[in-house]
Amino acid sequence: MKKIVLTSCGIRNDDFKSKFYQLISKEELSKSKLLFVTTAVDGEPADNRDWVAKEYSTVLELGFKESNITEYKIGDEINIDAFDVMYMLGGNTIYLLDMVRKYHFGDVIKDFINKGKIYIGSSAGSQIIGSTIELGSVYEINNVNMTDFTAIGIIDKEVVPHANKKEELVNDHNRDDLIFLYDGDGIIVN
């Protein structure tokens, strides 16, 4: 069974936390090894990263033990099988997708999910799981000159985080092939 959690900015709201704890209990979380992937942050301006500490605190509040969390940058050596949960942090989606492609990390994510492990996406980490990042990319700095916005495709819809801040986009593109994520909320795909 696939266990994919898509959020705009982490698992914060109590109702959504309750749904998440049906996927994995607090007791299991406290024993789980978490791979905290921060690659997308590197694509953001240095003065726009204050939210990273807040999101890390959110992960601890869920029940992960700090000693079981490993920060990771795509491209570094790692034994992915040593982890139970992958948390793909947000940041610049275009930069993240470029790194995922460069290091064939999409295959790593697919394999991780197919082994029944939990994938949690936050913002950019949610977007790359979908079919494309095209709509969301209009809000991003494209430092890598990306022209093909095809994403990993684990989900056959485009995921658009921070929909509450993109009202015009939501109104203009309200289609069945889109998943709009609002800050503080999320969905579980299994």
Q: How confident is the model at residue 179 (pLDDT cuts 50, 70, 90)?
A: confident
Higher pLDDT, 135 or 4: 4
List, in sequence order, every beta strand (DSSP E) within 66-157.
69-72, 85-88, 118-122
pLDDT band for 77, please (50, 70, 90 cuts).
very high
pLDDT band at residue 180, thresholds of 50, 70 and 90? Answer: confident
Query: Across-strand partners of 76?
Result: 74
Looking at residue 52, what is its pLDDT? Answer: 87
Does CATH number 1.10.3720.10 belong to domain 3-189? no
62 pLDDT more than 70: yes
50 versus 111: which is more confidently predicted?
111
For the residues 118-140, what does the mean pLDDT come to?
90
* pLDDT over threshold 70, residue 170: no
pLDDT band at 67 (very low <50, low <70, confident <90, very high): very high
Highest mean pLDDT among 11-25, 40-54, 166-180: 11-25
Average pLDDT, the chain: 91
Token reading at 36:
């905290």
Task: Return phi, psi of residue 149, to 5°.
Answer: -100, 20
Check if the beta carbon of residue 93 is closer than 8 Å to that of residue 128. Answer: yes
Could you tell me the residue ranges of all domains in the chain?
A: 3-189
Which pLDDT band, with edges at 50, 70 and 90, does 166 fall under?
low
Residue pair 39/99 in contact (Cβ under 8 Å)? The answer is yes
Burial class (CB in 10 A: 0-12, 13-18, 19+), 107: exposed
